[in-house]
Amino acid sequence: MAFSSSEYLSSVWKDGIFDNKVVFCTGGAGSICSVQVRALVHLGANACIVGRNVEKTERMAQGIATARKGAKVLGIGAVDVRKYDSLERAVDRCVKELGAIDFVIAGAAGNFLAPISRLSSNAFRAIVEIDTIGSYNTLKATLPHIIASAARNPNTGTNASTGGRIIFLSAAFHYTGAPLQAHAAAAKAGIDALSATASIEFGPRGVTSNVITPGPIADTEGMDRLGSKDKESAAAALKRVPLQRHGTVKEIADGTIYLFSDAGSYVNGEVLVIDGARWRSPMPIGGLDYPAGLLDDAVLLGGKKISKL
């Protein structure tokens, strides 16, 4: 399926900045990861996406390849990130057919809503295995190749040829805690810790490790699964986003390009939250109706309207 480039990357990026680079992405058939990879392919990269569903993964790879004439995009299905051997075989095929791995996106994830009182230990374990252990397996299986890429593309601050970079996809549940998300919060906290450790251990080899944390992103599987189906509840949730809108997949892709490009060469061990400040959503204080109470040049405090401050 063809897309207008404006749907998956901003106009500020220069064509060809990822020429001759290869990206390996788990969860690559997903609604966010596929757009991240599509943007990188548009800008010159070749790619390998892996997933559990064979048909979906292969079909998505064919669609991503339309982003640039002559692009090579492998779609490898039947890959379970919880099983290291499964990932290792996919990595070996990627390197054999595309020649290298320069960039890695660890994006495979699972989630559902459940209170702790009704969350079985098996269900909790399943999410940790997919998200945290799957991310570790992705790092472990690709590590020799991203170290080799970093050696080919020295991180000097002046070298525009980048490589040896990994991005983990996470979430903000664990920043403050979230009801019905104990399993996902624990799993994502583990991912953040893994990335931080990798940045320290492999930074001396020129490898960068960072996290992208998407917020509520429109028209994605995550929103379909976790977003409210009730219009009134959905509207109330949207009001809690300071920018008063949902994010777009393009904005996640733009963050990915930044971290993989030479603009992000000195960014290592960081968490890039792309959520419109949703995780900082203010608590209701003094009866303040957010954001209406801020937009009419007045603040409700103790039931009394204080005119222009």
Positions marked catalytic: 170, 188
Token pair, residue 227, equals 């977003």
Residue with tokens 């299905």: 77
- Whether 245 contacts 276, CB under 8 Å: yes
Which residue is it, tokens 């990915």? 256
Query: Which burial class, exposed, middle or buried, applies to 28 when counting CB atoms under 10 A from its CB (0-12, 13-18, 19+)?
Result: buried
- Of 170, 177, 183, residue with least CA distance to 113: 183
Q: Residues 149, 163: contact at Cβ < 8 Å? A: yes
What is the DSSP pairing of strand 165-169 with strand 103-106? parallel
Residue pair 79/26 in contact (Cβ under 8 Å)? The answer is yes
How far, in Å, CA of 79 to CA of 189, rounded? Answer: 24
Please tell me the distance from the alpha carbon of residue 50 to that of residue 92, in angstroms, as a whole number.
Answer: 12
What are the φ and ψ backbone dihedral angles of 186, each rounded to 5 degrees?
A: -65, -40
AA identity, residue 258: Y
| CA 87 – CA 137 distance, rounded (Å) | 7
Query: Alpha-carbon distance 63 to 85, whole Å?
Result: 27
Distances (CA, A) of 279 to 176, 177, 282: 8, 10, 9
**Tokens linked to 291:** 């954001």
